[in-house]
Structure 1
Amino acid sequence: MHKVLIVDDEIFVRKGLINLIDWSSLQFDICGEAENGVQALNLIKQLTPDLVIVDIRMPVLDGLELIRQVNVEGEHQPLFIILSGYPDFSYAQQAFRYNVSDYILKPVDEQELIATLKRIAITLNQKQLLSMTREKPLVEIIIESLVQAEPDDQVMTQIAYTLDIPLFSSYTYVIVEMQDGLPNREIEYMLPLQTLLQRYFHLEGQPLLIHARAYNQYGFIVPPLWQDEQIDAERMGYNKLLHSLEKNLSTKIALFIGHKVDHLKQIVHSRTSADECLNYRFAASYNGLFMATELLELPLYYFDVDEELHRKLMYEVEANRNDGYINAIDAIFIAFQERYFAPGAVANTVRRSMIATINIIRQLEGNEKNLAWLEELLNWQTKYRNLNQLRHVFINFIEEAAEYIAEKRGEKGEGNIEKVKKYIDGHFRENIYLKGIAAEFHMNPIYLGQLFRKNYGVYFNEYVLSLRIEEAKRLLRQTKKRMYEIAEQVGFQNADYFATQFEKLEKMTPTDYRNKMFDQK
């Protein structure tokens, strides 16, 4: 972290700056405050801040005079940002003569300050790199500088000298992901991981370039000597490393291995390819070892799972059939692996199934918050990082939801398919439709349609049509009503449509049918 001293005679301005942004996320830490230039001079000597943010106009000693005295007399030389409520060009000219890093007008704009701090952080990082000694290398700063962008030649030469490593050699960036099923950094693995990696790569007494990333990940640069020894056995060497780390750290681990580069300066490109390997974490048969050389030419799948698989799962959930929804889930997860689903596509599929399940629960006037596994599935991406872990959580959620749905439907006492059929038999003359009946019986329409066909061998619409045509035939035989009257009485809104459907089923028009019945008499 880089230390920051804030100097302004107004306390509200100082506190406002402190609370304006997340300083730590930008590699800064507020080390102190001063209300005038004299206090600031003393604090600069005591605290040795890397950056001083100072108001240009203050009592006792103003900002410009403070900067002049520090530049001329101070042993410690921090960087400065000037704050001013006066857009006067003469002030800005004088400030930049003192090598001020930036001149920001009040009120301070959040985005402008963030952009300035990001630029200054890079400057400070490079400044620290150039001031390193052989005895105390700043490993975290080195690797983060290397993997963010290609450093200039001066910095690269100093890094190579300090670490006693060649510039021109084989280097690879590797991401180690701890798949412990815990939130990020609940267990801190940095020190034991560093020790294990140094031992594995035979780096006793030498530095290992390693740093902490987000999402329980650590990145490190593989030393060139080890890589040169592997030649054609690279996968085998990384596989041995993976098993060694899992055994010693007692947790599931995945390695994401970038492309090999021929110059330390190019490690940023290896890091980029390692990051791209993260998109293949759900691909089949890689067993925790994901190598850019094997993966990055394979096309990722960015869409939702097939509609048929989703329908199948929802049907089995509504039917509360354990074997059925387990098989449906397995089919979905096989698709994830075999078609190289991107993490976003996997997340969308899980979200879609979860929403559909919650909708069923709400239709039954249930409360999804009663499901113990809901929270785990909602937040799965913060804890679960491989398919086995996700499958475990997903199955537990679906199993619990299916039982809850069956329980709520039992409470309603209206989930019996025979009751649905009786309802249709008594109301087919009305303008009924599947969605409306499903709502009446607190069922999902897709599930109801499939259940009806399974029990009675016909689709809902086919059954309703057959009832209407049979009733129409009775009316044609027993009454002298006109066609439009019969059509309306049996549930058709349009006489022409009635005639078309009648002919399709009976192979003759309604008129022909009536005439045939009278001829037989």
Structure 2
Amino acid sequence: MYKVLIVDDEIFVRKGLISLMDWSSQQFVICGEAENGKQALELIAQLTPDLVIVDIRMPVLDGLELIQKVKAEVDHQPLFIILSGYPDFSYAQQAFRFNVSDYILKPVDEQELTSTLKKIANTLNQKQLLSITREKPLIEIVIESLLQTEPSEQVMARIAHALELPLSSSYTYFIAEIQDELPHGTIDYFPLLQTSLQQYFHHEGQPLLIHVRAFNQYGIIVPQLWLDKQSEPAWTSYAKLLERLETELATTIALYIGHTASHLKQIAHSGISAEECLNYRFAAGNNGIFMASDLLELPLYYFDVDEELHSKLIYEIEADQLEGYTAAIDAIFIAFQERHFASGAVTNTIRRMMIAIINIIRQLEGNEKDLQWLEELLNWQMKYRNLKQLRHVLLQFIEEAAKYIAEKRGEKNEGSIEKVKKYIDSHYKENIYLKGIAAEFHMNPVYLGQLFRKNYGVYFNEYVLSLRIEEAKRLLRQTKKRMYEVAELVGFQNADYFAAQFEKLENMTPTDYRNRMIGKK
């Protein structure tokens, strides 16, 4: 895997770029982020990324200045992709003068970025094959080459001979993902995983086609004849393997199993289908085993969670109701499973929740960086790889945010429902509406509407209407003003609409009401 550093001063641009695509399928892994050129310069020296994707305009040190300094001051020389929101040819000219690999306009298109990464991966592959070092075993380079291309018969024969594997046998590629809730590479599971696999397949001391991927994943190519020796269906065999691996590695593991290829040289097709299984990680009922033969016919859901569920969650957070927002989260996670949300759709849903919560905090003049769980949830994809883990970190963040919002609202004392009611009582004759009042009191309009009804037993619109009609009745009794004048004085822009609402509430027209009151005198 080739390391990528993302550099942009907007955090959601960086996170959006990271979640835009499956980087590992293009031979890349995100090794770090920086919010300005100065910070990036330090990280390039520390992390030695192979590729840097950098915004052209940033504070402190912009993209082009960063590239100049790297070329002049840093021993390690990565490749660069420039991002820009400015389709100015002069920028592009300047960028290519520094031998930048590509210049991509924002918003970044996934297909364009994928195409660029493929070209860069080919360049890096050629450099690596020309200078193989001990840092990356030859067997890993062979595996990654098999997964990227279909070698010639002559090359395949040499590979099979060197690895002591049958050329004409069927093969399956699967991904073992370590779900230990730790960043990639914190623990090196490779030796123990390899030993466990050798023992399970009864090939102690013999080489395995296994390589290290991103996100705590290991890719394995298995000859079908090894599975056939188990004398049981493939799913059962993989279930036993999973149980053994989890016991011996003492952690949670998931297996993503591709279609079986009829020949070693076609293993890339099995690899692609195993990659596609990763997109079903949030589907229901898989028990840690995700098989292409079972899953890839199921349509994935690529959209956001329903607006009703999202609004319900935000309301319960604002109300600081633990049972309420826990139930809303459970409903959202059930939707993830039952509707087969794609990984990208889950990411978008989580991001939408966070943006809504952060906006509420900022409206209350709070600072989202005060939340200890913010950074953990921002980077959840780096550590949390199944529904149970994601639900835990999300719930921790929401619980903390709900209490923080309640505290900030209490400090400002602007969100009290009594003050809202007093404001309505004083301004009902004006053109007031729920959304505007919510903004005035730094509250979510859905939350305010439901809170108002909970406290006073009526909806906001009903209460405003009742105030206006009562005032209209007083004016009809005590003055000789015309109907359109009365309507305007109590907040109605249209006299006919006023008359209709009056009749709806009083079961008589304004004129009938005035005549009846005059007759009583």
Q: Which moved more, 1:490-499 or 1:335-344?
A: 490-499
Partner residue in 1 for 2:497 = 497
For residue 23 of structure 1, report the CA deviation from its aligned partner: 8.1
Deviation at 1:362, TM superposition (A): 1.3
Map of 1:475 onto structure 2: 475
Matches within 5 A, 1:58-457: 110=101, 115=119, 118=122, 121=125, 125=129, 138-230=138-230, 232-457=232-457
Contact 1:163 1:207 (C-alpha < 8 Å) held by counterparts: yes
| TM-score when normalising by structure 2 | 0.75
Partner of 1:100: none
Distance 2:332 2:293 in 1: 27
Offset, 1:442: 2.8
| Pairwise CA distance, 1:258 | 0.4
Deviation at 1:150, TM superposition (A): 1.1
Output the CA distance in 1 between the equivalents of 2:436 and 2:383: 41
Shift of 1:230: 4.2
- Secondary structure of 1:169's partner? coil
Q: Letter of the aligned partner of 2:370 in structure 1?
A: N
Q: Distance in 2 between matches of 1:235 and 1:127?
A: 41
Measured at CA, do residues 440 and 116 of structure 1 come closer, stay the same or move farther in structure 2, by a change above 3 Å? Answer: closer
Aligned residue pairs total: 418
Shift of 1:117: 8.2
Uncovered stretches (5+) of structure 2, i.e. residues with no partner: 2-43, 53-95, 103-115
> Following TM superposition, by how much is the alpha carbon of 1:235 offset from its aligned partner in structure 2, in angstroms?
1.1
Q: 1:457 deviation in Å?
A: 2.8
The aligned residue for residue 516 of structure 1 is: 516
Q: Which runs of 5+ in 1 are unaligned?
A: 2-17, 27-104, 129-136
| Closer/same/farther in 2, CA of residues 410 and 154 from structure 1, 3 Å limit | same
In 2 relative to 1, CA 127–268 (structure 1 residues): closer, same or farther, beyond 3 Å?
A: farther
What are the superposed Cα offsets for residues 265-324 of structure 1, whole Å, 9 maximum, x if unpaired? Answer: 111100000000000001111121111111101111111111111111111111111111
- Distance (Å, rounded) in 2 between the aligned partners of 1:200 and 1:429: 79
TM-superposed CA distance for 1:182, in Å, is 1.3
Instruction: Tell me how far apart the structure 2 counterparts of residues 218 and 359 of structure 1 sit (CA, whole Å).
Output: 39
Aligned residue for 1:59? none
Q: Measured at CA, do residues 271 and 117 of structure 1 come closer, stay the same or move farther in structure 2, by a change above 3 Å?
A: closer
**CA distance, structure 2, for counterparts of residue 297 and residue 117 of structure 1:** 30
Q: 1:256 touches 1:289 (CA, 8 Å); kept in 2?
A: yes
C-alpha spacing 1:184/1:127, structure 2 compared with 1 (3 Å):
closer
Name the % identity.
70
Structure 1 residues 262 and 339: alpha-carbon distance in aligned structure 2, compared to 1, 3 A threshold? same
Q: 1:123 to 1:311 in 2, by over 3 A?
A: closer
> In 1, Cα distance between the equivalents of 2:205 and 2:172?
21
Question: In angstroms, what is the RMSD of aligned CA positions?
Answer: 2.9
Does structure 1 conserve the Cα–Cα contact (< 8 Å) formed by 2:101 and 2:120? no
* 8 A Cα contact 1:126 1:155, kept in partner: no
- Do 1:125 and 1:145's aligned partners in 2 also have CA atoms closer than 8 Å? no
Question: Could you state the TM-score of these two structures normalised by the residue count of structure 1?
Answer: 0.75
Question: For 2:238 and 2:123, how far apart are their aligned partners in 1?
Answer: 37
Pick the structure with greater CA Rg: 1
Between the aligned partners of 2:473 and 2:396, the Cα distance in structure 1 is: 52
SS of the residue 2:286 aligns to: coil
Give the Cα–Cα distance (whole angstroms) in 2 for the partners of residues 318 and 117 of structure 1. 47
For residue 371 of structure 1, report the CA deviation from its aligned partner. 0.6
How far, CA to CA, are the matches of 1:267 and 1:355 in structure 2?
42
C-alpha distance after superposition, 1:460-495 (max 9, x if no partner)? 112101210121122112211111221121112232
Change (3 A) 1:484 1:274: same
| Residue type at the aligned position of 2:355 | I
Distance 1:124 1:184, change over 3 A: closer
Q: Distance in 1 between matches of 2:204 and 2:237?
A: 19
Which stretch of structure 1 is more off in the superposition, 118-127 or 374-383? Answer: 118-127
Does the 8 A contact of 2:176 with 2:218 survive in 1? Answer: yes
Structure 1's 117 and 457: CA in aligned 2 closer, same or farther, altered over 3 A? closer
Once the two structures are TM-superposed, the CA of residue 106 in structure 1 deviates from its matched residue by: 9.3
Aligned-pair distance for 1:378? Answer: 0.8
Shift of 1:109: 6.1
Letter in 1 for 2:437: I
Look up the equivalent residue of 2:443 and give its one-letter code.
Answer: M
Residue type matched to 1:248 in 2? E
SS of 2:171's equivalent?
strand
Asked whether the 8 Å contact 2:417–2:452 carries over to 1, the reply is yes
